[in-house]
Amino acid sequence: MFDNYFYFLKKLISVLTFNAGYNAKVVVLGATVLGLTAGVVGTFLVLRKRALVSDALAHSTLPGVAVAFLLLSYFGFDAKNTFFLLSGAAVSALFGSFCVSFISSKTRLAEDAAIGAVLSVFFGFGVVLLSIIQGLNIGSEGGIHNFIYGHTASLRAIDVKMIFLLGLFSIIAAALFIKEFSLVCFDPDFAKTDGWPVSLIDYYLMALVVLVTVLGLQTVGLLLVISLLIIPATIGRFWSNSLSKMTVVSALAGALSCYIGASVSSILPNYPAGAVIVLTSGFFFIFSLLFSPVKGVFASMFRRVSLGFRILLDHTLRDFYEEWEFSKTSTAIADFSLSKNKLKISFFQKFSLYFFRYVKKEKDKIYLTEKGVLKAQEAVRNHRIWEEYIAKFGSVDISHVDFSADLAEHVLSPQIVKELEGAIESSTKEIKESLHTLEKN
Amino acid sequence: MDMYQFLSIDLPPLLTAIFCSLSCALVGNFLLLRKMSLVGDSISHSVLPGIVIAFLLSGTRSSIPIFIGALIFAGISVLLVEVVKKLGKVESGAAMGVVFSLMFASGVFLIEQASARVVDLDADCVLHGQLETIFWFPPKVFSFLSLLNLPYEVFASLLVFCLISILVFIFYKELTLLSFDKELADALGFKPAILNTGFLIIVAASIVISFKAVGTILVIAMLICPPATARLLTDKLKTQIFLSLFFAVLTAIFGYFIAVFLPSFFNLSAVNIAGSISVSSGIFLTLAIFFAPQYGIIGKIKKTKKFAHKVIAEDILGFLFRVSEVSEESTDKLLTKKQLLVPFKGVKIVEKSLANLLKIGDVLKVKNSDGFEFYSLSETGQLRAKNLVRTHRLWEQYLVDEVGVKEDHVHDTAMDLEHFTDEILEDGLAKSVGAKKQDPHGRDIPEKD
């Protein structure tokens, strides 16, 4: 049993290190370059909110491939001439993309309807042509099927060279226009008013998408090629807010998914490369969605919880301070103590108060530490500054300021505090009396 | 073609295609209005793993488990899209793309696994459906009772269509409200979330029932094309729905015809029916895009052209009128063609507009004794031009008096506005301009006849 796994692992490592024979090397290399290219181009596509246009493009390659095939066999050429078939695919994909923008700009139908209509009608036409080809009994019609679901085994060295060259070309073509792309992606209205040829840039982007789509037909197939464009790009967005970093992450995610997916499928015969590549990228997607430190679910959950936590601590310390104020003792706050059961807080809060060493316990009495005093003063001060500010400038009644100050006091940065001080003419460090009467806890 | 062959081979797939097409078109109308067409795309890709799993678990090709499996995965996909949108703050198109391509990939993966174990499951039927496999052994003597023996696909698709029709009929008001004004629906207490879920369930049902017939991608054509065609022909939702149902039936019949009957006339083998149905839906949509009376591209171009001719013709009349106004001698009112066309330099259609004016007799062409041609206003043309110039000067005066535009800036605006002004508006202008007999430039405002 384990022997099988060891055998599989050994083989996988040899494929991954490009030591498993010429064919596997060619396939894995081609797929990796494809993933890299799709990652780069896809970033702009997704940022331009055109993700699903690529689905229409991919589906509309089918009639092009079929027509190219018919032409080749009619004129007696080798019907497996990949370059010609892919050129046919590119032409009909460009036509499909033109139809989408034509319908959505010249008729009352919205872009979603245009995408759906083009996608299904072109694909339907392709299916009809396929059935005609089957009826003609030419023989090698299996070649076309390879474009639908992808068939990495059909990749030849020359195809990989083509992927390599055209992929490199599209990466450079995208990199040259990164400024224009980012402008059009982030603020198309501004770009338009600033005199940029937005629709021309869009067409340029679409042409690159068509190129990637066509390159991906043999590897992942026309049904799944959009995931190479969309999934890595979405992964990139999880890891960074800067365009260039996003693009790099996306390219790496695409390359890695293809690298792993193609390797696995080259060992296991009934693991279709396209599906495995997509599922691998899906794994990275889910991982990023959950664990990315920038926009991941857990990271934002952690941020939310820690903010809530800070709010609780602030409130507790402020209560302590206000108890001291309320008692009107002449002792300094550092010498003021509360009995242990007077501090009505949860175990969790108590624990963190001790953990951060904001309080100390001496003979059943709780004192603020030096650090605690500072923190409590800051909390009280932020609260009261904000109260005063909104009472003065926000025309909020004094009886209502407490609640809204509770919300804002925790997110006041030192800079904002400084500005507030200027606005209400308070000197630094001074803690004013509360505007409203304090209630005893 | 004999009757028996038609009943056994053609009727069942034709009926199935018609009923599926009807269901899809019915719900497609609301998808289209809500700009959710691609939800159909997303669902139709995502049901694949559900179908494969249901098939593997039940071990049959029977519809009910497959229907349920597909429906469950349709629900899962909608849910996942929402999750990705909310948790990842991903834009909805990308979220749909991620979810449905992942689900479709798992479906493809599962199919490959299953077919390795020599199970009778074909990835290709996912693409182009299995309409060709539905057939019937009709009785030798036809009776209506014998129709009950039709293949279950026919009844299943009919049943789904009836159910969807009833639901749409009952919840028509709610669905309309949801499509046009979701916020209002919310404010009126219609619970859009629940409605929306219900709506997505019937969308999924119509997709799933059509899935087996036409395949995953071509079902999108059935969802989108007939309603889109209808949308180009009307503004009324009810009319749109009935038109879309009409086109749904037409598309199915026409598609079936070009797939099966047309090739047989030429002794060719039939082509894929599902593909040809979606192509025919595309043909109708294309026709509507170009030839729809109000929203078609050709109609729109014609309308624009007609309007452009009207504007240029009116400007020619206005020019001739202004010239005759300042001419002291009657011969000065006559202009050569070159003179007449001076203000229209670079306007391509001016020759044609002028020819039109000559044809309807608003402008006269006279030859003098030397054989030179001159143009002048006829009596009707004079009247039309006078009204036009009146409108123009009223506008100028109005713009100065009421809007506060500077005198030297009103001409161009008035030049545009005069072509849009009808009699009611003109009277209104005259009223607010009041007793003034002259425009801001000191020219007389012609009296109304």
The DSSP secondary structure of B28-87, one letter per residue, reads: HHHHHHTT-HHHHHHHHHHHHHHHHHHHHHH-S--HHHHHHHHHHHHHHHHHHHHHHHHH
Same domain flag for A350 and A319: yes
Query: Is B121 a residue whose pLDDT tops 70?
Result: no
Same domain flag for A249 and A143: yes
Higher pLDDT, B431 or A438: B431
Counted domains in chain A: 2
C-alpha–C-alpha distance, residues A66 and A144, integer Å: 7
According to DSSP, residue B440 is labeled T
Query: Is B59 a residue whose pLDDT tops 80?
Result: no
Same domain flag for A177 and A262: yes
Residue B224 confidence (pLDDT) = 94
The sign of the torsion formed by the CA atoms of A112, A115, A118, A121 equals negative
Q: pLDDT band at A441, cuts 50/70/90?
A: very low
* Cβ B38 vs Cβ A112: under 8 Å: yes
* Average pLDDT for chain A: 85
Residue A173 confidence (pLDDT) = 93
Give the structural domain span for A263.
2-295
Q: Mind listing the pLDDT tens digit for each residue in A135-187?
A: 777 666 566 778 888 877 777 888 888 888 999 999 999 999 988 888 888 88
Query: Is B98 a residue whose pLDDT tops 70?
Result: yes
A437 within a domain of the structure (yes/no): no
| Window 3-32 of B, Cβ < 8 Å to A | 32
**Rounded mean pLDDT, B269-281:** 89
How far apart are the CA of A271 and the nearest CA of chain B, in angstroms?
7
* Residue B294 contacts A where some CB pair is shorter than 8 Å: no
Q: Which of A67-76, A229-238, A250-259, B112-121 is predicted least confidently? A: B112-121
A34 within a domain of the structure (yes/no): yes
Same domain flag for A258 and A319: no
Into which CATH architecture does domain B3-295 fall?
A: Orthogonal Bundle (1.10)
Nearest chain B residue to A133 by CA: give it: B271
Residue B441 confidence (pLDDT) = 82
Domain spans, chain B: 3-295, 300-377, 381-433
As for the ipTM of the complex, it is 0.85
Q: pLDDT band at B122, cuts 50/70/90?
A: low
B300-377, CATH topology level: Arc Repressor Mutant, subunit A (1.10.10)
**Rounded mean pLDDT, B21-28:** 95
Q: Of all residues in chain B, what percent are helix, strand and coil, respectively (each to 5)?
A: 75, 5, 20
Q: Mind listing the pLDDT tens digit for each residue in B380-389?
A: 888 888 888 8
* Residue A150 contacts B where some CB pair is shorter than 8 Å: no
C-alpha–C-alpha distance, residues B38 and B32, integer Å: 9
| Window 252-271 of B, Cβ < 8 Å to A | 259, 268-271
| pLDDT winner (highest mean) among A265-269, A298-302, B336-340, B441-445 | A298-302
Residue A144 confidence (pLDDT) = 77
A431 within a domain of the structure (yes/no): no
CB < 8 Å to A227, chain B: 97-98, 101-102, 105
**Rounded mean pLDDT, B365-378:** 81
Q: Which spans in A268-346 are helix H?
A: 273-291, 297-327
**Rounded mean pLDDT, B298-303:** 90
Q: pLDDT band at B119, cuts 50/70/90?
A: low
Q: CB A59 to CB B127 under 8 A?
A: no
List, in order, residues 6 or more apart from B278 with CB less than 8 Å away. A120, A121, A123, A124, A125, A127, B214, B218, B221, B222, B225, B255
A441 within a domain of the structure (yes/no): no
Same domain flag for A100 and A23: yes
* Cβ A224 vs Cβ A218: under 8 Å: no
Nearest chain A residue to B215 by CA: give it: A124
A166 within a domain of the structure (yes/no): yes
Q: Looking at the domain covering B381-433, what would its CATH class be?
A: mainly alpha
Same domain flag for A312 and A185: no
Same domain flag for A60 and A107: yes
CATH of the domain at A45: 1.10.3470.10
Same domain flag for A244 and A155: yes
Q: Which of A11-25, A423-437, B172-186, B402-416 is predicted least confidently? A: A423-437
| pLDDT winner (highest mean) among A12-26, A77-91, B92-106 | B92-106
Higher pLDDT, A67 or B190: A67
Q: Which of A374-378, A426-430, B1-5, B417-421 is predicted least confidently? A: A426-430
Same domain flag for A233 and A373: no
Query: Is B32 a residue whose pLDDT tops 90?
Result: yes
Residue A233 confidence (pLDDT) = 95
Same domain flag for A232 and A344: no
Q: pLDDT band at B353, cuts 50/70/90?
A: confident
Higher pLDDT, B332 or A55: A55
Same domain flag for A289 and A343: no
Query: Is B265 a residue whose pLDDT tops 80?
Result: no
* Cβ B276 vs Cβ B255: under 8 Å: yes
* Residue A124 contacts B where some CB pair is shorter than 8 Å: yes
Q: Which of A10-14, A58-62, B185-189, B405-409 is predicted least confidently? A: A10-14
A272 within a domain of the structure (yes/no): yes
Same domain flag for A10 and A106: yes
* Cβ B317 vs Cβ B362: under 8 Å: yes
Query: Is B268 a residue whose pLDDT tops 80?
Result: no
C-alpha–C-alpha distance, residues B426 and B395, integer Å: 9
